[in-house]
Structure 1
Amino acid sequence: MRGEKMWRNRFLNGKQYDHGVFRLQVKRMSCYNKAAVCEPKITRQVRAMAKKAGMEMAGMENRMKSRDSYLQKIQRKYGPGCQDYEVKDILRYTYTASAEELTKKTLKAMELYWKSGYDTVEIKNYWLDRQSPYKGINTTLRSPDGQIFELQYHTPESFSIKNGKMHELYEMQRPIKDLSSKEYQELWNQMLQISNSIKQPKDIEKVKPWE
């Protein structure tokens, strides 16, 4: 019995967990560590593609999600015991181009990735969603080695707003449970007002969403 108890329980960060939870934590960190190993190679490729597509890179200091943020996202989105989960943005990158050229350069970058053996598995074009305060193109790619990562396409203006006032309002809104509350709706309306001020890129409807 004693041996069974020792097998079934572990201590992690000073807290006792049963073996099932411990194995789940190990699995989650294995996914994170795999992304960390792949990061240098993918970053080199992302830089090279940006140069070929004529796009600028932004937010490189945040290209890898922190361990705490990664684990918190799983907890928040899937629950503590979920084993069927996927975090697509452990690695995340951003390209920027002017509103005049964003569409053209985005489509060029997508073609370059395809020719290099990188699969674009998801495209979300939030510029086409009038109900979304967030404006940008979010794509999920899979490298030839199988590593998933996120690549966003922005104008300098949309990127600046996303990481500035919009982010502040989002962080204020996120803890509010009642989506119909006055406080939640007021913050939502403020975000929409900011969103509506962003210049829409030329021909942005040519970037078709799919998943």
Structure 2
Amino acid sequence: MNAAKRREIFERLKVHIPEPTTELNWATPFELLTAVLLSAQATDVGVNKATAKLFPVANTPQAIIDLGLEGLKTYIKTIGLYNTKAENLMKTCHLLVEKHQSEVPKTRAALEALPGVGRKTANVILNTAFGQPTIAVDTHIFRVSNRTGLAPGKDVLEVEKKLLRYVPSEFKQDAHHWLILHGRYTCIARKPRCGSCVIEDLCEYRDKVEL
């Protein structure tokens, strides 16, 4: 795929989704960090239902600590892997209080040092909470990048590096959200909705379906 075609893809996605953002509900960097930690192998809808009850009661590191581990679990038990997630979130809260004055750090190294925070989660926080032009490659972005030919790669890190190299600079801030939303609602895993896709003629997928 050439540079002109990549630019046109993002031009169209920008028109189609003028103000892309995460579908997780959050108001502060800590709320976003909490929501993203809870979202692994879970739906955003499910996470939002849990945090709608949790955040009014505890939406700071100290408030989560004050809940206690079992208290925290009562709020997130509807989310998959909640035991592990509760333990990671509690450990993260202790580190935020002890090392970061209860603030979410703004560097990748500091974020990735938090329990349960990997490269993808760090990228989400840096991009969405702090406005940095990072691209967090999840299953949707990995699929869209490979299927369309936008930035093919054998693993998420290779795809991330290619996207950072190929996406025009003016689109990098929002590229993460455009590609996730495109993968979630149009370029879906089992049967992509090619017939209603705004970039169908630019996509290099060979097995397009008419829907």
- Give your verdict on TM over 0.5: no
Q: Whose helix fraction is larger, Structure 1's or Structure 2's?
A: 2
Return the index of the structure with the highest Cα Rg.
1
What TM-score results when the alignment is normalised by the length of structure 2? 0.22
Q: Whose strand fraction is larger, Structure 1's or Structure 2's?
A: 1
